[in-house]
Amino acid sequence: MSFCKDCVKGVTHEGTPEGKIDPIGGVRCYVATPTVDYPKDKVVLFLTDVFGLELCLDVMVHR
Report how far apart, in Å, the C-alpha atoms of 10 and of each of 14, 39, 42, 46 are: 13, 33, 30, 17
Structural domains counted in the chain: 1
In tens, the pLDDT along 3-17 reads: 777 777 766 667 777
> Running DSSP on this structure, what letter comes out for residue 53?
-
Would you say the C-alpha torsion 23, 26, 29, 32 has a positive or negative sign? Answer: negative
Q: Domain range holding 42? A: 5-61
Which of 52, 9, 58 lies closest to 28 in space, CA to CA?
52
Render pLDDT for 15-62 as a digit per residue (tens, 0 to 9).
777 888 888 888 878 888 888 998 889 888 877 766 566 555 555 566
* Of 30, 32, 26, 20, the residue nearest 51 (C-alpha): 30
Distance between CA atoms of 61 and 18, rounded to whole angstroms?
10
